[in-house]
Amino acid sequence: PGGFGIDYPAGWSTASSAARVCQLFDPQPFTVRPNTEPPNVAVSVYVENYRMSKVQTALTDPSFYKVISVEPGTFSDAARPGTILETDAKQGGMWPAGMRTFSVLVDRVDSTIVVSTNDLAYSDYEQNKQTVLAMAGSLRIAG
């Protein structure tokens, strides 16, 4: 789905739901219940149908996020340009205040692949950041 393939750590579980396949990854088995929000997992991957600059602007909006770091990078089998972001959520946004998020945005020209983790996941945030980087580097992008 989404015109990409991605590698993830051996032994990790991924969603078996057709709607979420290749989107949710965790070291522990998990269930995706129909018609509900997805569970909080170690790493999520999704496609935003917007240019990378627009996605980056939304994910670093100073009304909702304090930016910890922004770095350029190159990802995928096609050496696509990308951005590595780390943010803290601010009070009054969609996420709990102080929630730290680490994301890699990978440019697909008219859309963006986002690979991310947050410190609400029930696993090691620092290790998950390294996993996000490795997974973004493993992307195989069609088209």
Using one digit for the tens of pLDDT, what is the confidence trace for 27-69? 998 888 877 777 889 999 999 999 999 999 999 999 999 999 9
State the pairing for strand pair 112-118/43-48.
antiparallel
Measure the CA–CA gap between 42 and 54, rounded to whole angstroms: 25
pTM score of the predicted model: 0.91
pLDDT score of 56: 97
81-109 pLDDT per residue, tens: 999 999 999 988 788 899 999 999 999 98
Measure the CA–CA gap between 92 and 122, rounded to whole angstroms: 23
Token digits of residue 73:
């990078």
